[in-house]
Amino acid sequence: MNATATISATAIEKEDVPQLTFPKSDVLLSEMEQSERKRRIVRAMKLGNNGKYKVKIIFEDLESLKKVETTIWGVTEKNIILKKGTLIPIHRIHEIKFF
């Protein structure tokens, strides 16, 4: 993902995520990108659980590119878990940014 796409993503609050609709297709086409995404998600979860470290999650719902800054509390095979059980489908995540 390039910097322009990250900048053009609309910032939302994590509390707004449950109202979003997510298509079934993956936003990343190559297996290498998907593998790197998974690696970064697991790293972000470990940092979040050990030190409440926040990351920027760039993802896409049915309407547009979104970004949210939060802690990743858990990971399943299909979703990341945010505070209060909020889920974002892994296949809709473009990038995890550490800051």
pLDDT tens across 41-98, in order? 999 999 998 988 999 999 999 999 999 999 999 999 999 999 889 999 999 999 999 9
Q: What is the pLDDT of residues 7-57, one digit of tens each?
A: 799 999 999 999 999 999 999 999 999 999 999 999 999 999 898 899 999
The pLDDT value given to residue 14: 94
Can you say how many angstroms the Cα of residue 87 is from the centroid of all Cα atoms in its chain? 9
Please write down the long-range contacts of 84-87, taking CB distance under 8 Å and 24 or more positions apart: 84/15, 86/14, 86/15, 86/17, 86/18, 87/17, 87/18
Q: Which CATH architecture has domain 3-98?
A: Roll (2.30)
Q: Please say whether the dihedral angle defined by the alpha carbons of residues 4, 1, 38 and 15, taken in this order, is positive or negative.
A: positive
In the prediction, which pLDDT does 4 show?
Answer: 52
| pLDDT score of 99 | 83
